[in-house]
Chain A
Amino acid sequence: MRRFKLEIVQLKPILGMVNENFEQILREIDSGIKLGADLICFPDTALSGWNLSSLLKETSIDRGSEKWEVLKSRSKRISVVVGFLEREGNNYFKSVSYLEDGKVLSTQRYPFVGSDNNTARESKEFHTKFGNVMLISFSALMNPKAVFTTQEDIDILIVPSAVYAEGVDEMGTHISSIEDFELICKAASIRFHSTVIAVNRVGFEDGYGFFGASKVIDPWGKVVYSLPRFVQKRVLLHMDLDTYTLRVEPS
């Protein structure tokens, strides 16, 4: 399917409230299904919030959980990308998963700080309805130890993100992380010669300001669509991977 409807949800999760976030995500998924979206993308840590400190146990889900089964079931009607805190035994991971046709096609897991496990830094492409996809959270994209193994061309690089504003310069004119987010995603689009869908969250958590500005970038590094900064918002885009064009569906 080279033409499809993509829904980007620039979500504002509630910190540490996995049930409320899950309900919000389900509402967005159901709304996406009604609007005829084929693929819906949420940001990194969409289910849990980001600044978790001592809230790991309360906010993590494991693969056997009811929530996970509900998401898998919804993915029979719409492909879903979502970021969450994953628990496996005593280890916690910041994970992003791609679900389609009731199955988990790919999960990228990155150990939560303080967790013992230090595995899974490799990203591989996988086959989806929309072509070859690679899933990499923005923090993984920035990780110097990340390994990208590609056997085939990648059509879409999906980058679920939880990037906050930081790095003001002395004169106060530049915020480095806002500029880096766009720059790194552009570089990735060129590096893999693929369309990048970068979904960044919004909202403030203990002073950390997640700035949104989710975007779609063509394989030549050109930003073809961008959501506003700091605003919770969703958008439905008609994507055409053959012509590398998109059209915004009026809301």
Chain B
Amino acid sequence: MEAVKEILINFISDEVRKFGFKKAIIGLSGGVDSSVGAYLAVEALGVENVVGVMMPYKTSNPTSLEDARLVAKNLGIKTVLIDISPIVDTYLNLEKDEDKIRRGNFTARIRMAVLYDISYKEKGLIIGTGNKTELLLGYTTLYGDSACAINPLGDLYKTQVWRLAKSLGVPKRIIEKPPSADLWIGQTDEDELGVNYILADKILYSLFELDLTPEELILRGYEADIVYKIVDTIRRTQFKRVEPIIAKVSTVTIGKELSFPRDWGV
């Protein structure tokens, strides 16, 4: 993973500094993705320039906060702890609904709002930590956990992030625990996705990096139901991976004929 590490460290360093910032802000969940983001950011910007923001909700698993603290302690970074329970509950008490997806999305968006506020206060850029598997399967909350300034992990599958975590020295217990968005008690990514990450990554890698068709994957022994479920999930969640659609009325439309690079002039 040395070359990947080198690319991502240089990416963070270059992208943060060229916009005139020194600091990175990372939402530390105690999971492997945000831990990897923090380890990379420290290597890129120095320990004094990384702020870990921990935002537990009252139903969050206590080990999530413990693991986030462990990462911060190991790295020696500054932390900010914001209990988001009163913020979230103020709204949820008005809008009583047991729909856990709705509640989970709202919680994720409150974390985003807090993170952006701290980003302004600390004058730092938010480092996103969504991986390629999550992004492709749409396992993110739009304008929630997927919101960020730059994302070093978005082109790595979950299983590659695990390998990277190992090579960076992320604590074993964080790498080995079942991945969870921790938006409600007992939630795990793999239960929700209906497929484990190792299998999902094999299928996604074969579809996109090896350019195989679903039919070719099935011929290679993958279960048709799972392959088609993954392909369908990618299709259904495409809206999460693109900017909002602009209705075309002119001849030169933003995002279509008119497309300026993000890094223009920096």
Contacts and interface: CB of A to CB of B under 8 A. Distances in A.
B10 A204 contact: yes
Interface string B134-177: 00000000000000000000011000100110000000000000
A25 to B, nearest CB: 17
A203 interface: yes
Most buried by B among A51, A172, A174, A178: A172
For chain A, what secondary structure do more than half of its interface residues adopt (helix, strand, loop), or is it mixed?
Answer: loop
Interface stretch (A14-22, A61-69, A74-82, A189-197): A14-22
Interface residues of A, number: 27
A1 interface: no
Given A16-B264, A172-B4, A207 B11 contact: yes
Interface in A159-181: 165, 168, 170-175, 178
Given A54-B258, A172-B1, A16 B265 contact: yes
B259 interface: yes
Contacts of B265: 14-17
The size class of the interface chain B forms with chain A is 20 to 34
B6 A14 contact: no
Contacts of B260: 16, 53-55
A16 B11 CA distance: 19
A221 B238 CA distance: 46
Interface string B10-29: 11001100100000000000
B7 interface: yes
A170 B209 contact: yes
A172 B259 contact: no
| Shortest 6 CB-CB contacts between residues of A and residues of B | A230-B10, A53-B259, A204-B14, A16-B264, A175-B3, A172-B1
Interface of B: 1, 3-4, 6-7, 10-11, 14-15, 18, 155-156, 160, 163-164, 205, 209, 257-266
6 contacts: A168-B156, A178-B3, A204-B263, A207-B155, A209-B10, A230-B6
Given A53-B260, A165-B7, A211-B7, 20 more contacts: A14-B266, A15-B263, A16-B260, A16-B264, A16-B265, A51-B261, A51-B263, A168-B160, A171-B160, A171-B163, A172-B4, A172-B156, A172-B160, A174-B3, A178-B3, A204-B15, A204-B18, A204-B263, A209-B14, A230-B10
